[in-house]
A and B are shown apart, each in its own frame.
Chain A
């Protein structure tokens, strides 16, 4: 069940990340056209950067499911198969700790418990905590940056889901999902 949820969620993340690629291309091309027509749209650069960041964290979360990402595989290649399984378990434990840490840090940052205790009054929240996460604006988009920063929470949740699923598989001795192998350099 956990594995299935992780697979479906990873699929959603990748579809969204792929849409972000289209959006980034579209935004930059629009910028080229409008700039050459002397009608540059001032918010495009900032929007494109944020879309790229969403793409990055969505696909990075999905990469945890497939145990993607550059790593030093020297040890795994020389140890016997039995030790390789232990090594995989070790990596899965470490990635799980990382994912849990990311959730914790996100909660410290957005502090939803204090915010709800303040009746979702962001000004009262700022006054009480000196945490200005809900106050910071984007430079040109006209929205609060907290909406953009939300991707860190989505990333943390997705990473935690995939890391838990992988860890469970490792403990059960099931094979890893491997639907990607490319490595850019």
Chain B
């Protein structure tokens, strides 16, 4: 009956956090454990009493400050210096700028919104098909939750009780592989479509673009460098990055308007709250998972199917691709991690960092797949292209991402090599 209540609430469009909380209430009442309800609020509260979660509002604030502070155009100009001269240069610029942005923003939906506004009109003006321009931009957004900092990694780290800094390190090689594969896809698409010729910047223009970009590059250096070299925790890196972003926006680029600061702070609070409130609700939903012993029940079914970790990961990938198509990535991550991670670790001896990177990349693909692909619809809205046409143009990128997923599932070292 609890499962039915869960499904009726979920499919009826009730906010997922409320679905989790009410399902837990139903389950507790049904199993005559109503004494638990008097500690319901406390359980929600304690679910987010976690230092790691502090990184979420701080990274979101940094993203907001950078968006408003004029970083996007500087990053695009800098990307032009490196790849602008190749045939199809603007497509490569798009991807490279997305890599830079991924090292700052941490949220795929925000990144897709920002980059769609900046890149799709520019690419279309140069002669690219609108759908392809939109698809390249949306695919670039997939890098955001993999290249550190990543909101999904912070949440997974909290749920799996792993150091978030190490989780970020685990994402670096997969992020670079995914970027390289996307560059390859663009090159291959270029063989079938007649991409416009690129143009290298003159030496003075290139120098100017690089110098202008230098302060912006400080942000990923602060974030990634601080974590990689163990100077600061991800939370502290995020706080320093937000201060640097603020200083650059106000003092160097002078694009950041103090009058807009209030709106930025409100947006940060709203967006961070959506995510953290989900984690709080998931903590009471944990009662259902623990008392029903869902992982233990699932173990029997899964081990009867296979004892091979790679096959297990493939099965998980297929199931999560379907889940990711209908449920928001963060919500899905919060739902499945407490159920699947114990099985992955205890029964299949899978490294939790490898498991985290695989499921995070998998779930973020749902952002670009119908019927509930928020990223797809954001791109469509920003570029005024039809979602289905963008999806068609996105297909090679999605297929390539699946190949990378299989690769990451097969070779654990790709995620664990950089971890201390």
Contact = CB atoms under 8 A, between A and B. Distances in A.
Nearest to A111: B38
Contact of B145 (A53, A62, A69, A185): A185
Contact of A184 (B17, B60, B372): B60
Contacts of A18: 262, 265-266, 268-269
Interface in A30-45: 31-32, 45
Nearest to A30: B239
A25 B22 contact: no
Contacts of B37: 105, 108
Given A72-B16, A94-B14, A56 B272 contact: yes
A29 B110 CA distance: 25
B228 interface: no
Contact of B57 (A24, A91, A133): A24
A29 B241 CA distance: 10
A106 interface: yes
A90 to B, nearest CB: 6
Contacts, number: 219
Counting chain A CB atoms within 10 Å of each CB, the highest count among B16, B18, B265, B331 belongs to B18
A21 B57 contact: yes
Interface size class of B (residues with CB under 8 A): 35 or more
A134 interface: no
A60 interface: yes
Interface stretch (B94-102, B274-282, B301-309, B406-414): B274-282
A95 B40 contact: no
Interface stretch (A1-9, A73-81, A113-121, A167-175): A73-81
Interface size class of A (residues with CB under 8 A): 35 or more
Contact of B12 (A32, A52, A75): A75
A56 B45 CA distance: 10
By secondary structure, the B interface counts as: helix
Interface stretch (B46-54, B178-186, B344-352, B391-399): B46-54
B107 interface: yes
A102 interface: yes
A71 B326 CA distance: 9
B193 interface: no
Interface string B269-299: 1111111111010000000000000000000
B239 A71 contact: no
B236 A55 contact: no
Nearest to B108: A185
B210 interface: no
Counting chain B CB atoms within 10 Å of each CB, the highest count among A59, A182, A184 belongs to A184
Interface in B38-78: 38-42, 44-45, 48-51, 53-54, 57-58, 60-61
Contacts of B22: 94, 97-98, 101
Interface in A150-166: 151-152, 156
Contact of A59 (B18, B51, B270, B280): B270
Interface in A44-89: 45, 48-49, 52-53, 55-60, 62-63, 67-77, 87
B215 to A, nearest CB: 19
A73 B21 contact: no
Nearest to A87: B13
Interface in B254-274: 262, 265-274
Given A28-B236, A105-B41, A56 B276 contact: yes
Contacts of B39: 109
B324 to A, nearest CB: 10
A70 B25 contact: no
Contacts of A105: 37-38, 40-41
Nearest to B232: A32
B243 interface: yes
Counting chain A CB atoms within 10 Å of each CB, the highest count among B57, B235, B329 belongs to B57
B57 to A, nearest CB: 6
Nearest to B276: A56
Contact of A56 (B19, B41, B236, B280): B280
Counting chain A CB atoms within 10 Å of each CB, the highest count among B17, B269, B331, B371 belongs to B269
Q: Shortest 7 CB-CB distances between A and B: which pairs?
A: A59-B273, A69-B15, A17-B269, A18-B265, A28-B239, A70-B328, A60-B277
16 contacts: A20-B269, A21-B57, A29-B243, A56-B276, A68-B274, A70-B17, A70-B274, A74-B371, A105-B37, A108-B37, A109-B39, A149-B45, A184-B272, A185-B109, A185-B145, A185-B330
